[in-house]
Amino acid sequence: MAAGIVVGRMNIPAELETAYNEWYNAEHLTGTVAVSGFVRGRRYVQVYGENSPAKYATVYDLESPNVVEGEGYAAWTASFASRNTFGYREIRPKFQDFTKFIGEQIFPIGAPYEPPAAAEYLLLMMSEPEDGLDEEFNAWYDTEHIPLLLQVPGILTARRFRAVAGSDGPRYIAIYDLASPDVFQGEHYEKLRTTPWTLRIRSRYKNRLRFVGRRVSPVVTKP
């Protein structure tokens, strides 16, 4: 079974934002990662984005996307209503614009993953091709686009996931660990965005969402 991912994106009322970040990092993030099948989790605040209304994103790596259908995760989410802490009483019910992408890893296949120590930033790129274009879309991403991106200084890793049942939003997400949000400003990056194949594919995909975030939590792994 391929590795899985959960990407939760959300907003929170401004008056709760400080408490939200403290609670999420101290209680909710660690509690979720402790669920069987979760590998690690970390949180990001948006630096800039396109078609991305949510200010915050949480990324959880899973042993498999089936983890979210398991008894452990069901018990964890069911426990929220009975948890008598300020965060679960006053903060979590006030999440806004919440969406959850659940996916299986399709690139690279079978390769182990560990977030690089230098990865203080992240790019989430969500999109989906026009009907009938999936095969070419995936071939372009895996054989041209990602290999070229990984030549750009500061783009540290690249992974792709396809949505499974119960996921929100576009069907594909590409996730890149970054050393800096400025990696997209150089001449090298601009050239790779204008290859003939890239221009063809970009004219034929839809529901594009781009989120560049700065990490605002530790990378939390199993205790």
CA dihedral sign, ordered 168, 37, 215, 30: positive
Q: Pairing relation of β-strands 155-163 and 121-129?
A: unpaired
- What local confidence, expressed as pLDDT, does residue 185 receive? 86
Asked if residue 223 has pLDDT above 80, the reply is no
Other CB atoms within 10 A of residue 74 CB: 12
| Residues above pLDDT 90, as percent of the chain | 91
Beta bridge partners of 43: 58
Mean pLDDT to the nearest integer, 40-53? 97
Quick one: pLDDT band at residue 186, thresholds 50, 70, 90?
confident
Q: What's the chain's average pLDDT? A: 95
Q: What average pLDDT score do residues 160-186 get? A: 95
Query: Taking the complete model, does pTM exceed 0.85, yes or no?
Result: yes
Q: Which tokens hold the place of 210?
A: 């781009």
Residue 215 above 70 pLDDT? yes
Domains of the chain: 4-221 (3.30.70.100)
Q: Please compute the mean of the pLDDT values over residues 49-73 and round it to a whole number.
A: 97
Exposure on the CB side of residue 214, measured as CA atoms within 13 A: 6
Residue 145 banded pLDDT, cuts 50, 70, 90: very high
Strand partners, 36: none
pLDDT at site 222: 84
pLDDT at 180 over 80: yes
Per-residue pLDDT tens over the stretch 99-141:
999 999 999 998 889 999 999 999 999 999 999 999 999 999 9
Helices assigned H by DSSP within 71-217: 71-78, 86, 134-140, 146-149, 187-192, 196-202
Please tell me the predicted confidence (pLDDT) of residue 1: 64
Given a cut of 90, is residue 192 above it in pLDDT? Answer: no
Transcribe 39-67 into DSSP letters: EEEEEEEEEEEES---SEEEEEEES-GGG
H/E element, 31: helix 29-33
Inform me whether the pLDDT recorded for 221 exceeds 70.
yes
Q: For residue 19, what is the enclosing H or E element?
A: helix 17-23
Answer whether residue 151 shows pLDDT above 90: yes
Q: Please, which residues bridge with residue 124 across strands?
A: 175, 211
Straight-line distance from the first to the last Cα atom of the chain, in angstroms, rounded to the nearest whole number: 24
User: Is residue 170 helix, strand or coil?
Assistant: coil
Dihedral angle sign, alpha carbons of residues 126, 127, 133, 139: negative
